[in-house]
Homo-oligomer: A and B are copies of this chain.
């Protein structure tokens, strides 16, 4: 359609003079020189140059240069943008994952308290030991009460009410550490010959036992003390 119109227009223009707007006229100068006149000739030239400059600028941004062609420049830019978008997505995911890990670690730091697992366990033991030492009564374990609840996948909250017995808590902590548990945010209170121990239990990541199992474990340990 357009080409048909153009051809007709060109025919008319070439053949006869037209005074319409955007008047471009081809004046015959002399015998063989044809002078082209168009009002937007210069503007069009500027536009073309600008576009070319933009394209070159775009090409300068793309590291993977396969060709100088206009089409390939754009294609390269497209693939580059896609790669960048993918990179951003991947990096964002990775960063989120890292943040989650950091958050978890920071949580672990906060709850765990003592840096090394061993240290923490010893720390808990010491606390318990001192509490034990502060009261040197002997008794049996028939008043032991143990509560274990899940906080999340890797953390348990436990409460133990335990009759005072020398070294009991130490051994408890040591035994728990042996099987991979650590005590964090431990609080020990003594009252009327009993310990009240509340603590967060941090298990080995991904290998946390069920609360009931931990409770049984604690029971066994206390029984063996």
Residue of B nearest to A10 (CB): B34
Stretch with Cβ within 8 A of B (4 or more), from A47-55, A140-148, A205-213, A215-223? A47-55
Number of copies of chain A assembled together: 2
A51-B70, A74-B54, A95-B98 as given contacts; A169 in contact with B114, CB under 8 Å: yes
Q: In the assembly, what is the distance between CA of A14 and CA of B109, in Å?
A: 82
Interface residues of A (CB under 8 A from B): 1-5, 7-11, 14, 26, 32, 34-36, 47, 50-51, 54-55, 57-58, 61-62, 70-71, 74-75, 77-78, 80-82, 84-85, 87-88, 91-92, 94-95, 98-99, 101-102, 105-106, 108-110, 112-116, 119, 122-123, 126-127, 129-131, 133-134, 164, 166-167, 169-170, 173-174, 177, 182-193, 195, 202
Which of B10, B84, B114, B184 meets A131, CB within 8 Å? B184
Which of B57, B99, B115, B177 meets A109, CB within 8 Å? B115
A114 touches B190 (CB 8 A): yes
Which of B114, B130, B185, B195 meets A183, CB within 8 Å? B130
Q: In the assembly, what is the distance between CA of A11 and CA of B4, in Å?
A: 12
Residue of B nearest to A63 (CB): B85
A3 / chain B contacts, CB cutoff of 8 Å? 5, 8-9, 36
